[in-house]
């Protein structure tokens, strides 16, 4: 059997015909296995959804009670068999509840990793390396220029700026699901225990993280604060809020933005970001190449992002690699192309 007989591209995305399911389909399907709750991977309207409890809860929070016909929760390490195909979920280290899905049939294992990072993150379970025959990898930051570095150093940069400008409010643009909570947790790891302010759009998801045991310290809504009390504080907001009228409530706001794209200075400048923070929930170039090599896979399928460089790198390593052109995946979770 060839890997393509187990998983192949269909108009709705990656499809396992033998098991009658899709992985992260971009159109409504009968049965969907979902890696994580970011909106380009997790859409509403499927018949049956299999995902981790956190992913199901996050989808419910975003799309409402009726986001799918039926749902089934699965734990990390747990398997479900559909006909002769077994699917097992493993942590992807991307955001709370994120999973890689290992699909096995006839002794062949394909791992669909969704989005992932092999870097410590206080808000989610660490990435687990799953040996496989075919590894399906994302390629959001698949260029050698992308090396994210130490997120702790970026947070230190933010705190130095806060200390330097005690009369100004620091606004940190961060995607609402995952990045926002990680930035808060990283701030707490340094011992920073002042209240952290939130844009209203992040409240529900952030409270959900707390309900799953992620400690985030004292959080307040910026909405409820007076202008003078916001001096010298840190507020987390969606990237799109950095340049809207909402910022008028803050004293002399200073814009920061937490994203892997902040490695590109021109991009930071263009978006009016005074303090770029290179913090990403995706693997960087070293993370991608190290992981690909470590899986032991002989064949690599590359999805959304900068596929060419990664496919080329695989070639130099003697790995069979090809891009999978799935229409509908993006990097909105880094505040890249989309503007949430």
Binding site for Zn ion (CB under 5 A): 38, 115, 333
Closest CB 66 distance from Zn ion, rounded Å:
23
Contact predicate 52/43, CB 8 Å: no
Residue closer to Zn ion, measured from CB, 38 or 168: 38
Strand runs labelled E in 126-233: 134-139, 170-173, 196-198, 219-221
Residue closer to Zn ion, measured from CB, 92 or 254: 92
Closest CB 194 distance from Zn ion, rounded Å:
29
Closest CB 184 distance from Zn ion, rounded Å:
18
Contact predicate 99/124, CB 8 Å: no
What are the C-alpha distances in Å from 206 to residues 24, 176, 180, 192? 24, 8, 8, 18
Helix (H) or strand (E) holding 299: strand 299-305
Helix (H) or strand (E) holding 293: helix 285-295
Residue closer to Zn ion, measured from CB, 115 or 307: 115
Residue closer to Zn ion, measured from CB, 124 or 268: 124
Closest CB 230 distance from Zn ion, rounded Å:
31
Residue closer to Zn ion, measured from CB, 91 or 253: 91
Closest CB 25 distance from Zn ion, rounded Å:
13
Burial class of 75 by CB neighbour count within 10 A (0 to 12, 13 to 18, 19+): exposed
């Amino acid at each position: 059997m060839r890997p393509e007989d187990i998983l192949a591209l269909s108009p709705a995305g990656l499809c396992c015909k033998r098991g009658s399911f899709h992985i992260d389909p971009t159109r409504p399907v009968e049965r969907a296995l979902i890696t994580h709750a970011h909106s380009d991977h997790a859409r509403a309207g499927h018949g049956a959804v299999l995902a981790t409890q956190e992913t199901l809860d996050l989808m419910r929070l975003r799309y409402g009670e009726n986001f799918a016909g039926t749902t089934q929760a699965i734990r990390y390490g747990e398997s479900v068999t559909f006909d002769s195909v077994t699917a097992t979920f493993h942590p992807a280290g991307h955001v709370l509840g994120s999973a890689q899905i290992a699909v096995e049939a006839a002794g062949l294992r394909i791992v669909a990793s969704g989005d992932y990072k092999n870097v410590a993150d206080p808000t989610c379970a660490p990435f687990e390396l799953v040996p496989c025959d075919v590894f399906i990898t994302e390629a959001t930051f698949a260029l050698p220029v992308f090396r994210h570095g130490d997120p702790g150093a970026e947070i230190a940069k933010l705190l130095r700026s806060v200390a330097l400008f005690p009369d100004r409010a620091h606004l940190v643009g961060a995607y609402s699901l995952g990045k926002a909570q990680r930035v808060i947790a990283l701030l707490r790891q340094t011992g920073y225990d002042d209240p952290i302010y939130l844009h209203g759009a992040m409240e529900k998801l952030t409270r959900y993280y707390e309900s799953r045991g992620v400690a985030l310290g004292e959080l307040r809504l910026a909405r409820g604060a007076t202008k003078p009390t916001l001096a010298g504080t840190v507020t987390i907001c969606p990237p799109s809020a950095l340049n809207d009228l909402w910022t008028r409530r803050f004293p002399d706001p200073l814009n920061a933005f937490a994203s892997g794209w902040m490695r590109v200075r021109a991009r930071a400048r263009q978006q009016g970001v005074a303090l770029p923070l290179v913090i990403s929930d995706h693997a960087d170039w070293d993370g991608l190449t190290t992981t690909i090599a470590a899986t032991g896979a002989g064949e690599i399928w590359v999805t959304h992002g900068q596929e060419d460089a990664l496919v080329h790198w695989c070639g130099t390593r003697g790995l069979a690699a090809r891009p999978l052109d799935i229409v509908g995946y993006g990097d909105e979770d880094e505040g890249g192309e989309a503007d949430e």
